[in-house]
């Protein structure tokens, strides 16, 4: 890998694919978790005080972080996972199937009793850019749950 662990680094060896065909390496997992922890520090959660960080690994080896961003009109709050996805797309780092990088894996970190799994909305948005991606959920005690998005969201909405 190049650079230091965390957001913005590039992990070499990641193959361009749809994310459905491989799982992240141990090095990639560690980098994703580090980036998710770093992103969590930037969470804007003055109402719930529930800070969440997420980090995506794309099929080009790029890691992009995101945090939850709350709003005083609570319904406008955005989750960490979707923040990361939208940031990655806006930066040209995610594409539709066969036309650009895909999500290989996502890590999610929060101070929760159990490893935090993505909400339903985020599962559907993850499917848009990485239907077969690996989801790594971790709490601050180091408990982890690694699960495929296809298990979290079977029969996702879409034409695929
Ligand atoms: Zn969500």
- Catalytic (active site) residue 128: no
pLDDT at 96: 81
Domain 9-152 matching CATH 3.40.50.300: the answer reads no
Q: What is the pLDDT of residues 44-99, one digit of tens each?
A: 999 999 999 999 999 999 999 999 999 999 999 999 999 999 999 999 999 887 78
Centre of ligand 1 from the C-alpha of residue 47, in Å: 16
Catalytic residue among 7, 28, 70, 81: 81
Q: How confident is the model at residue 160 (pLDDT cuts 50, 70, 90)?
A: low
Residue 122 has pLDDT above 70, yes or no: yes
Centre of ligand 1 from the C-alpha of residue 68, in Å: 9
pTM (2 d.p.): 0.87
DSSP secondary structure string for all residues of 50-116: --EEEEEEETTSBEEEEE-B--SSGGG-B-HHHHHHHHHHHTT---STTTS--EEEEEEEES-SSPP
Q: What is the pLDDT of residues 3-21, one digit of tens each?
A: 344 555 555 443 334 545 6
């Amino acid at each position: 890998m190049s650079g230091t662990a965390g957001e913005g680094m590039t992990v070499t060896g990641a193959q361009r694919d749809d994310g459905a065909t491989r799982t992240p390496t141990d090095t990639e997992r560690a980098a994703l978790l580090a980036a998710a922890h770093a992103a969590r520090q930037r969470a804007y959660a003055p109402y719930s005080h529930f800070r969440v960080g997420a980090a995506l690994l794309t099929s080009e080896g790029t890691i992009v972080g995101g945090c939850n961003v709350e709003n005083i009109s609570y319904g406008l709050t955005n989750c960490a996972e979707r923040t990361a996805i939208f940031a990655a797309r806006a930066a040209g780092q995610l594409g539709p199937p066969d036309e650009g990088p895909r999500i290989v894996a996502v890590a999610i970190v929060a101070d929760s009793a159990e490893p935090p799994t993505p909400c339903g909305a985020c599962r559907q948005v993850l499917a848009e850019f990485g239907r077969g991606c690996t989801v790594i959920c971790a709490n601050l005690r180091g408990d982890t749950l690694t699960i495929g998005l296809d298990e979290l969201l079977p029969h996702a909405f879409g034409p695929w």
